[in-house]
Structure 1
C-alpha cells in the first residue's frame, strides 16, 4: 500500500460508509489510518553501522591504504548512509517484515484502547486499522464480537481490502471493507430498540496524513523533492567554495589578486540578479497559477550549460577569464532561481507539522551530496600538479592531464552531469500544482519596489523576519567564505588540509541539518534558529580566539611544526572543534529558516514569498565581505576583520527575537 492521504470528499465518503454499516447493527465501527506505526530509527543506525564496519575488510585486503584513510572512509560511510537511510522507502526496506507487523499490531491495540472501543455498552466495538508504511491491515473486535465471529472472517475481509488497494481502488476498498464489517455485525448484533451512536463515525487519520485538496503525495514524491538538494549542493561545494574557485584564482588566472576580486564581483552579480528576479518571477508564477517544474527545468538547463563552459578554463588561455566569470555568474543565478521554485513546492507536499522534518532532511541530504561529490572529485579525480596524486594519495581514475589542470576543469562538467542525473527524480516523481485557467486577463504585476513596500505594509512581521535573516545569512556566508582563508593563513594549510577541512564541515553541517529538522518540528523554527545562532556565535568567537601559538586568546600552545602530521598541533585541533560547532549550527539555521518562511507565507503566494526569501539572502550578500575587507585593512588584522561577522549574527539574532509569529507558525 502506498502512502495514503485523503481529500475532504474522500473522508466524507468513508464517513457515510461507516454510518450506513452501523445503521444495520448495534455494533460500533471505528476506522483508523496511520502513515507508520513506528519510526524505526534504530534500524537506520544499525544498518549504517554494520555497513560501515564491513567497509574496511575489502580495503584492507585489496589495497595498501593506511589505517587513517580506511578509518576515514569508514566514518564517511556511516555518516553518508545515516541520512540516506532516513528516506522512508529505504528505511522500511531495512526492517524485517515480522518486526513491522508486530509493531503495527501493537499500534492497533493501543488505538483500540485509546478510542474507547472497549467501553461500548454491548462490548461490540470493531476497529478497522491500516498502517500504510508496514503494508498492514487488521480488524480487532471487542469480546462480545470475538466470541461469535471466527478470526478467518476478518482475515477474508482484510484480504479483499488489500487486493483492492493493490488495484488502486482505495476508496472502494475502504467502503467495501466497512460494509463487510457491517454485514458481519448485523448477523450477530442486529439494531436494538434504542438508537445510541457511542463512537465517532468519521475516518481517524494519524501521523500526518492530513486532509489535502491536491490528492496523495507518495513517499517517492518526497524523495524526488529531497533529491533536488542532493543534485544542487555539489555546485556550491565544488565550484563555489572548495575546488574550482581556488583553482580559478591561483591556477588559471594570470594575476591572482585581480582574479580574486573579479571572482567576488561575479559571485555578487550572480546573487544580485537572482535576488532581483526571484520575487518578480515568483509573483508572476503565483498570480498566473503556473506549475513550478517548468521554471525549474528552464533554470536547470541554463545551469547545466553554464557549468559545462567552465571546462574552457585552460591555464594556457587566461584570456578566457571573462567568459568563465560570466558563465559562473549565470550558473549561480540559475541555481538560486531554481531553488526558489523548488522551495515553493514544500507546502504542497507535507502538512505544517512535517515541514521542519522535510526541510531539514533536504538540507542534510544536500550536504551529504556535497560531501560525496567532494570525496569523488578531490579523492579520485583531481590531482596535485606537483605530485600527480589525488587527495587520497591515489592516481586519478581518469587519464587527466595534471599539467593542463584537466582535473580542476572537469569540476564544472562533473557538477553539471551530477545535477542532470540526480534532479530527474524531482521531475518524475514529485507532484506539481496543476495549471489553472484564468477567465480574466492577468492583473499587471507591480515592480519590485512596490512589492517590497506592500510586503512591509501588509506583512510587517514577515518583513522583519526577512530583515533578520538577511543579516544573519550575510554573517554566516562571510564565515564560510573567510574561515578557510583564516585557517590557511594561520596554519599554512594547503589543498590536502583544505579538502579534509571541507569534508569535516560538510559532514557536521549535514548532521546538524538532519537533527535540526526534528528539533524544528518539536520546538518550532524560530527557537531552533535562535539557539543555533548562539551556537554559531560561540563557534566563530572560538575560531577567532586561535592563532599560531595561542588558544582562547590567552592560552599559549606550541606552534605547528614543519612537516607535522595532519592536524597534529593543539591549535589545529582546537580550530577544528570550533569549526565543527559552526558546521553543526549552519545546517539547522538554513533549514529552519526555510521552514519558518513557509509557515508565515499567505496561501497562494508561496512562490512570490520565497522570491523575497531569496532576495533577503542575496541582495546584501556583499555587505559582510565588504565590511570584513574594510576592517581588515584598517586594523591590519584578519582576526579583527572576520570578527565583523559576529556583529551581523548578533544583529540578526536581535531582530529575530522581535519577530512575533502567529500561533500556527510558532511551532
Structure 2
C-alpha cells in the first residue's frame, strides 16, 4: 500500500479541525442553551431537558441502524470519500439551517439537529475508514492523536470566537446576544465546509481488491456484516470489551451533549457554562497527547480504568455543585480525560482484534460508538421526568438525573474488569488460524 505523505496526513487531520466545530459550538455549547432559552422559551426545564435527551437519542438510534452496513460498505468498496462528502455536507446544510429557526419553534430545531448530528456521525465512519490508507501501521497512533489534537484546537478556536461574539454582540454588529448565537450556527457550517476541502483534494482512497460495484457493493456489505457477527462467537473477550465500551463511552458522550443543559437546569449562568466548555477544549488539546503517553507507561487498561473512575466521580460530584468555580474544576477534569479515554479505548481494541480484519472490526467498533449516543441522554431525561412526576422540585430532579449517568460508568467498569487482554489476543489468533485453514482447504 502506498501512503501519500505529510500532505495527506495533515489534510486528514484537518477534517477533525473542521467537524469538531460542530461538536463544540453546536452539540456541547450553544444548541443546548439556545434550545432551552430560545426555541423552548417558557417551557419547564425538566421538559426541555427531556426533549433534548430524546433528540440526542433519536439521532443515535437512526445512525445505529445505518452505521453497521455503512461501515461494512466502507470496508468493501472504494467510495469512502463520496460517502464522507455526502454526510459531511448534509451536516453542513442542516447546521447552517439552524440560523433560520425562529423563537419557540423547538420541533424544527430538533429535526435539523437530528439530521445534522447524523451527518456528523455518519461522516466520521468514513473518516475513520480512511486512516489506514493515510498512515503506515507504525504511524497510526501518532496520526490518530494528531486528529484528536487538531480537533480540540480547531473546535476550541471557533468556539472562542463565537463566545466572544455572544458576549460582545454590538462589537460585531449584532443587535443582541441571541442574534450572535444564531449566527454562530452559520459560522460552524461554513467552517466545516471550508476545512473539509483539503481531505477531498489531497487524501487518496486506496483501491480495494474486493471492491464491488453498485448493488453488489451493498450485498457484499451485508454479507460482511453477517460474517462479523458470526466471528464474535470465537471472540468472547472482545465482545465483552465492546459491551463495556458501549456502557462507559455512552456516559462520556452523554456528559459531552448534556453538560450545558444540566448546568442551566440547576441555575448556572450560560456565560459561565460556555467558559467552562472553553476550558475543557483547551485543556483537552495537550491532555489527549499526555494521556496517550501515560497509557504507554502504565498500560492502556489501567489508563482506561483511570478515565472511568474520574468520570464516575464527576457524575456524582456534579449533583452537589453550588458554585461556578466547581463547574470550572469539573471542566478541567473532563478535559484531562475525555480525549484520553477515547484514544486508549481505540488502541486497546486494536490489539485484541484479528490483525487481518482491522477494517471490518473497526467498522463495528465505530457503529457501537455511534449507538452510544442513545441510552445515556434517554436515561438522564427519563430520570428527571420520573422524579418530577413523583412531586419533587425541578432542581432536585435535574441533580438526580446527572447521577444516573454514574450507573453507566459503574457497569462499564465492572464489565471491563473481566476483560482478559491476553485471552482476547489468543482468541483473535485462533480465529485467524481458522480462516487460514478454511482458505487452504
Match of 2:248 among 464, 472, 477: 472
Mapped contact 2:57–2:375 kept (Cα < 8 A) = no
Structure 1 residues 534, 304: CA separation in 2 closer, same or farther (over 3 Å shift)? same
Normalising by structure 2, what TM-score?
0.82
* Cα distance in 2, alignment partners of residues 425 and 215 from structure 1: 19
Larger helix share, 1 or 2? 2
Per-residue CA distance 1:490-525 (angstroms, 9 max, x = gap) = 5x4212211211111212222321212333455543
Residue number in structure 2 paired with 1:96: none
> Hey, what does 1:358 align to over in structure 2?
143
Counterpart pick for 1:268 among 57, 66, 83: 57
Residue of 2, 20, 31 corresponding to 1:244: 31
SS in 2 for 1:434: coil
CA-atom RMSD, angstroms?
3.1
CA contact (8 A) 1:359 1:595 kept: no
Following the alignment from structure 2 to structure 1, what is the Cα–Cα distance between the partners of residues 361 and 249? 17
List per-residue Cα deviations over 1:180-237 (Å, max 9, x = no partner): xxxxxxxxxxxxxxxxxxxxxxxxxxxxxxxxxx124412221112111111111011
- Structure 1 gaps of 5+ residues are 1-213, 384-388, 549-570
Q: Any residues of structure 2 matched to 1:174-189 within 5 Å, and which?
A: none
The alpha-carbon deviation at position 473 of structure 1 amounts to: 1.1
* Structure 1 residue 240: Cα displacement: 1.3
More strand by share: 1
Which of 93, 99, 105 is matched with 1:311 structurally? 99
CA distance in 2, matches of 1:527, 1:516: 11
Q: Please show how residues 558-569 of structure 1 align to structure 2 within 5 Å.
A: none
- 1:372 CA displacement: 0.6
Aligned equivalent of 1:496: 271
Give the 5 Å matches for 1:119-518. 214-257=1-44, 259-287=48-76, 289-315=77-103, 318-319=104-105, 321-379=106-164, 381-382=165-166, 389-390=168-169, 395-397=170-172, 399-402=173-176, 405-436=178-209, 444-446=220-222, 450=226, 453-488=229-264, 492-518=267-293
1:464 Cα shift? 1.8
2:346 is equivalent to residue 594 of structure 1: yes
Asked if residue 613 in structure 1 is aligned to residue 373 in structure 2, the reply is: no
> Which of 631, 646, 653 is matched with 2:413 structurally?
653
Matched position secondary structure for 1:596: helix
2:18–2:193 Cα contact (<8 Å) kept: yes
Structure number with the bigger relative contact order (C-alpha 8 A, sep ≥ 6) is: 2
Q: 1:229/1:444 Cα in 2 relative to 1: closer, same or farther (>3 Å)?
A: closer
- For 1:437 and 1:455, the matched residues in 2 are separated by 19
CA contact (8 A) 1:537 1:649 kept: yes
Task: Tell me the distance in 1 between the aligned counterparts of 2:208 and 2:324.
Answer: 55
Q: How many equivalent pairs are there?
A: 413
Runs of 5+ in structure 2 lacking a partner? 427-441
Cα gap change, 1:451 to 1:328, in 2 (>3 Å) = farther
Q: Secondary structure at the residue paired with 2:54?
A: helix
